């Protein structure tokens, strides 16, 4: 006889959403842990880009760290780095970000925004070497377009390249608040409750989070609120428990992050699927009648010692499908009755749960050969 176990999944983990906020990539709290990808840098390797100590923190840039990119002599003129960790944002009116640069050559410094509906590269030359200088980049023509990738070409000389260079850049200031990616947002059924967990990397002006829930794909309704940290550069973990749920019901959740000034944004949605039962459930086998294969499903409201057995009409046990401890959840077993004779059989589910409840449920099924 063949036994097949299918356990429903009741834990959802999503890497999502944009709500804690920043306006500057400073390589101290923002950008330092992003994935930066090197391109067109000749014989270079992954060490050509790094987050390094500020080469001169006594002038206009007093930051401890800055991004450092070593351009190799055999690199193409457009050698640089890019990151897709820039959260998607819409370019506002008169958008003119600034970048602090520290270079050992005079050449164009290119800032490019792409990854959404914008694909615009702006070049501005530095005018001094081996000291910090702030450059301004005009993206005002891109108002209303979206960006999700930032590309930096720190040394964009005439072609062919005359030689290598060492370049620092820091404090990429967008002048507008741009959302930060959530580290995680997870949800799971825990008994007859839902537990949500989420993490922010940094926060700016964050009043808190409305917990919003959708039942059976309906409208989202606020079911709770969790206070935020205001402004913080530390990783913060949050949780919320929703105790008001029904069994066998599909629930979805999202977070509404609210600033102190009333501005807000939403996380992505996590769908937890059907909730757990509030009591032991044994479904009618399907198909019924059957020949020779059928399926038996049951659901446990808590971790339980379970026995699922099949008897003939004179009370003889002919098959044991389950014997042992199972976690809360929904289970489905495929029963192969090839070795049994035609007739009516009784299948019985007994359960002794960690919640202190014990139950026995029986149903009939018919085998026709």
Residues 216 and 171 in one domain: no
pLDDT at residue 329 in the model: 77
Residues 306 and 260 in one domain: no
Q: Is residue 244 assigned to a domain? A: yes
Residues 29 and 50 in one domain: yes
Residues 220 and 155 in one domain: no
Q: Is residue 6 assigned to a domain? A: no
Domain harbouring 61, CATH code: 2.60.120.260
Please identify, among 139, 154, 179, the residue that sits at the C-terminal boundary of a domain: 179
pLDDT digits 0-9 by tens, 48-74: 999 999 999 998 999 999 999 999 999
Q: Is residue 187 assigned to a domain? A: yes
Question: Domain residues for 239?
Answer: 11-17+182-274
**DSSP E strand stretches across 92-162:** 98-103, 108-114, 120-125, 133-136, 146-147, 149-156
Residues 25 and 138 in one domain: yes
Q: Is residue 64 assigned to a domain? A: yes
Contact by Cβ (8 Å): 321, 299: no
pLDDT digits 0-9 by tens, 342-365: 999 999 999 988 767 788 999 999
Phi, psi (5° rounding) for residue 128? -135, 160
Please identify, among 274, 290, 309, the residue that sits at the C-terminal boundary of a domain: 274
pLDDT digits 0-9 by tens, 18-45: 454 567 899 988 888 899 999 999 987 7
Residues 222 and 325 in one domain: no
Residues 49 and 170 in one domain: yes
pLDDT band at 10 (very low <50, low <70, confident <90, very high): very low
Q: What is the dihedral of CA 91, 178, 110, 107, to 10 degrees?
A: 130
Cβ-proximal residues to 47 (8 Å cutoff; 6+ apart), any chain: none
* Distances from the Cα of 352 to the Cα of 10, 189, 277, angstroms: 22, 20, 15
Phi, psi (5° rounding) for residue 130? 55, 35
Q: Is residue 93 assigned to a domain? A: yes
* Distances from the Cα of 219 to the Cα of 159, 192, 241, 251, 360, angstroms: 57, 22, 20, 11, 38
Q: How far apart are CA 4 and CA 75, in angstroms?
A: 58
Domain harbouring 292, CATH code: 2.60.40.2550
Contact by Cβ (8 Å): 236, 198: no
Q: How far apart are CA 335 and CA 321, in angstroms?
A: 8
Residues 169 and 187 in one domain: no
Q: Count how many domains the chain has.
A: 3
Residues 198 and 334 in one domain: no
Please identify, among 251, 274, 297, the residue that sits at the C-terminal boundary of a domain: 274
What average pLDDT does the segment 131-152 reach? 94
Provide the percentage of residues in the chain whose pLDDT is more than 90: 56
pLDDT digits 0-9 by tens, 106-129: 999 999 999 889 999 999 999 999
Provide the percentage of residues in the chain whose pLDDT is more than 70: 90
Q: Scan for tokens 């489905």, then name that residue.
A: 332
């Amino acid at each position: 006889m063949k036994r097949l176990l299918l356990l429903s999944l009741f834990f959802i983990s999503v890497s999502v959403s944009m709500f804690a906020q920043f306006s500057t990539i400073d390589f101290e709290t923002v950008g330092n842990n992003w994935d930066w990808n090197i391109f067109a840098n000749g014989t270079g390797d992954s060490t050509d880009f790094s987050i390094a100590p500020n080469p001169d923190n006594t002038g206009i840039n007093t930051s401890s760290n800055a991004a450092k990119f070593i351009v190799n002599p055999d690199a193409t003129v457009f050698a640089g780095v890019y990151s897709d960790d820039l959260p998607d944002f819409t370019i506002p009116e008169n958008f003119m970000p600034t970048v602090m640069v520290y270079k050992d050559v005079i050449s164009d410094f290119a800032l490019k925004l792409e990854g959404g509906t914008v694909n615009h590269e702006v070049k501005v030359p530095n005018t001094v070497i081996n000291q910090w200088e702030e450059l301004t980049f005009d993206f005002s023509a891109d108002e209303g377009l979206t960006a999700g990738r930032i590309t930096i070409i720190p040394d964009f000389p005439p072609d062919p390249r005359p030689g290598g260079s060492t370049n620092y850049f820091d404090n990429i200031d967008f002048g507008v608040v741009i959302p930060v990616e959530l580290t995680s947002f997870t949800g799971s059924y825990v008994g007859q409750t839902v537990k949500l967990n989420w993490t922010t990397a940094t926060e700016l002006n964050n009043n808190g989070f409305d917990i919003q829930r959708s039942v059976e794909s309906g409208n989202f309704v606020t079911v709770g609120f969790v206070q935020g940290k205001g402004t913080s550069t530390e990783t913060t973990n949050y949780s919320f428990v929703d105790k008001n749920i029904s069994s066998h019901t599909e629930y979805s959740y999202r977070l509404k992050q609210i600033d102190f000034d009333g501005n807000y944004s939403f996380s992505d949605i996590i769908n937890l699927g059907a909730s757990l039962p509030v009591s032991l459930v044994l479904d009618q086998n399907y198909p019924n009648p059957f020949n020779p294969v059928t399926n038996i499903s049951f659901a446990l409201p808590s971790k339980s010692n379970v026995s699922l057995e099949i008897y003939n009409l004179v009370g003889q046990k002919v098959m044991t499908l389950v014997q042992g401890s199972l976690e809360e959840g929904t289970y489905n077993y495929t029963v192969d009755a090839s070795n049994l004779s035609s007739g009516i059989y009784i299948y019985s589910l007994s359960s002794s749960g960690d919640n202190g409840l014990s139950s026995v449920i029986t149903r009939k099924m018919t085998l026709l050969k």
